[in-house]
Amino acid sequence: MLRDEYPLYLAGHPTETTARLDVHNKYTGQPATRVALADRATVEQAIAAAAAAFDQTRRLASFERQRILSHIVHELGERYEEFAHVLAGEVGKPIRDARVEVGRAIDTFRTAAEESVRIVGEYLPLDIGPRSAGCEAIVRRFPVGPCAFITPFNFPLNLAAHKIAPAIAVGCPWVLKPASATPVSSILLAEVVAESGWPLGAFSVLPCRAADAEPLVADERIAKLSFTGSPEVGWALKARAGRKRVTLELGGNAACIVDRDADLERAAERITFGAFYSAGQSCISVQRVLIHRDVYDTVRSRLVERAAGLRVGDPLDEQTFLGPLISEADARRVETWVGEAVRAGARVLCGGRRQGACYEPTYLENVPRDARVSCQEVFGPVATLEPFDDFKAAVAAANDSAYGLQAGVFTASLDHAFYAYNELQVGGVIINDVPSFRVDSMPYGGVKASGTGREGVRYAMEEMTERKVLVLRGAGGVQA
């Protein structure tokens, strides 16, 4: 369903350029389409258009913003299969997972439509002492201004939705730079936005080189930068962002704890999904599995058995569970990291083989804590297994990481559940499911190297607005 060529969108208008970006089919490795490529001057034009459009977007009534978002929801539903097949081609995402991503994007925009008419403020009595007798105040939220969004390759539609939908909901213009490996779904989304009633100057979607995107970070007309990607890039962007607000959704190497009293069958089922969906290319993919020693052998055998039954291959095959990684180079990197762990004493329980850009679902045990497959983000279908004897020690092991995005805990103990919630150094603790669990309305973000700020529609809307107080002194008095 990919077309031969796609334009970029500059100030809401489809725009051709002389430079082109080749987009490859991630399974075949063959060129699939080409998109227009923006240069630095085009990026600066987009910022200027967004800044000029802010006076219009900030004045849109709540019902108008809701109507715009509802139109996007409708059109995504009408073009469901088109978007899904584009994701299967440009990402290499299995078609079943691609449909899930489209559905999640619809949920994200629908939630934003609902929240757009619920941006509430508060009333404050200020008469806390004689000096402020007769004073009161109201507090409202106002949009911060033009926003810059940079999105990654792994969920290019829904992660774009998580930035765009809240911005429209509060009235912020925006410029989006999609990942160069997967720009097509964002361009299709721009087609939908252009027909929605959102002011045309108030958005741009610009595939471009990283160097040409620099104004999105440095330009003071941008009030907020939201970046999803690697920690190395994210923290460097924040250092150059100046006074603007910054939200960073970065990496992880998520731990999942299986307690001795857990539902072992459910744990095995969900860990299999969490470790290998999207070929492990998720910031909250299960990477470290900590299993109580009393049930370690049972859980290990169930995990290995389930992994062996997963089909790897063509994303358009309805039975495929794992498609390719985003590139053969990434698959080779995963292969290298696994090889390093094996040479350091790790044992391969299943998988461990690469074919082109595809890598088999792989479990390792006896992995040294300083091996890259343990302490860094694999971003591939590899997870480590490790036994523990004491639940507190398992929580400490989960915390022994530079990252802190989400963690999963399978347990029947309410005490252990709340201990994990209190002590795990992460942005989210998922009880009786994997850290890969996410509902698009919940707050989502990390601590430590995993980022700063929160997404999830209502929480992102809060970060795209600022409070303004109106103080009323002696209001309501009646003069004779």
Q: Catalytic positions, please?
A: 249, 283
State how far the Cα of 449 lies from the Cα of 432, in Å rounded to an integer: 25
For 333-392, the DSSP string reads: HHHHHHHHHHHTT-EEEE---EETTEE--EEEES--TTSHHHHS---SSEEEEEEES-HH
Tell me how far CA of residue 467 lies from CA of 138, 307, 470, 473, in angstroms: 10, 50, 10, 19
Tell me how far CA of residue 15 lies from CA of 2, 7, 37, 38, 199, in angstroms: 18, 5, 10, 9, 17
Supply the DSSP symbol for 322: B
Quick one: how far is CA 115 from the chain centroid?
A: 20
9: phi then psi, degrees, rounded to nearest 5: -120, 115
> Which contacts (CB < 8 Å, 24+ apart) does range 196-200 have?
196/68, 196/69, 196/71, 196/72, 196/75, 197/64, 197/67, 197/68, 197/71, 198/12, 198/57, 198/68, 198/168, 199/12, 199/53, 199/56, 199/57, 199/173, 200/11, 200/12, 200/13
Q: Are 410 and 259 in contact (CB under 8 A)?
A: yes
Quick one: how far is CA 476 from the chain centroid?
A: 48
State how far the Cα of 35 lies from the Cα of 17, in Å rounded to an integer: 9
Helix (DSSP H) and strand (DSSP E) numbers for the chain: 15, 25
Which stretch of DSSP H or E encloses residue 325? Answer: none
Q: How many other CB atoms sit within 10 Å of the CB of residue 61?
A: 11
Task: Considering only CA atoms, give the Rg of the chain.
Answer: 24
Provide the token pair at 99: 């449909």
Tell me how far CA of residue 255 lies from CA of 377, 391, 407, in angstroms: 11, 13, 5
State how far the Cα of 156 lies from the Cα of 178, in Å rounded to an integer: 7
Interacting residues of 74 by C-beta distance below 8 A, sequence separation 6+: none
State how far the Cα of 139 lies from the Cα of 290, in Å rounded to an integer: 47
